[in-house]
């Protein structure tokens, strides 16, 4: 595990694609499809941070708890759907 602030060299590839080094992906549990936020700090300096949704965190927690209780895949999916509906109702006033 690297010390925070340790510099990493990355390369911009075709279409602006960059690769986050494997050790950082493992350290911060970054998965394909995760969204990152890039902030231009000026002077050619950028800040890149993972953007994890509250829904993703809560869904992962529900799935983990149900798995610990030997729940079936169908029970887990039903619980995730209920969580999604609650989230949208709480945040957008609709299912």
The CA-atom distances, in angstroms, between 75 and each of 12, 57, 58, 68, 86 are 43, 18, 16, 12, 17
In this prediction, residue 13 has a pLDDT band, given cuts at 50, 70 and 90, of: very high
Q: How many residues does the chain have?
A: 95
| Residue-level pLDDT at 54 | 66
The CA-atom distances, in angstroms, between 3 and each of 11, 18, 57 are 21, 21, 25
**How many folded domains does the chain comprise?**
2
| Residue-level pLDDT at 22 | 92
> What is the value of pTM for the model shown?
0.49
- Residue 54 phi, psi dihedral angles, 5° rounding: -60, -40
User: Which residue range(s) make up the domain with 39?
Assistant: 14-51
| Residue-level pLDDT at 63 | 76
The answer to whether residue 5 sits within a structural domain is no
In this prediction, residue 14 has a pLDDT band, given cuts at 50, 70 and 90, of: very high
The answer to whether residue 83 sits within a structural domain is yes
Q: Stretch 52-79: mean pLDDT, rounded?
A: 77
Q: Does residue 46 sit in the same domain as residue 61? A: no
């Amino acid at each position: 595990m690297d010390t925070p602030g340790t510099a990493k060299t990355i390369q911009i590839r075709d279409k602006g694609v960059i690769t986050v080094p494997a050790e950082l992906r493992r350290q911060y549990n970054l998965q394909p499809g995760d969204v990152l936020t890039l902030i231009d700090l000026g002077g050619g300096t950028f800040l890149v941070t993972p953007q994890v949704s509250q829904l993703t965190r809560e869904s992962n927690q529900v799935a983990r708890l149900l798995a610990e209780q030997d729940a079936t895949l169908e029970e887990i999916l039903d619980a995730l759907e209920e969580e999604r509906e609650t989230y949208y109702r709480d945040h957008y006033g609709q299912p």
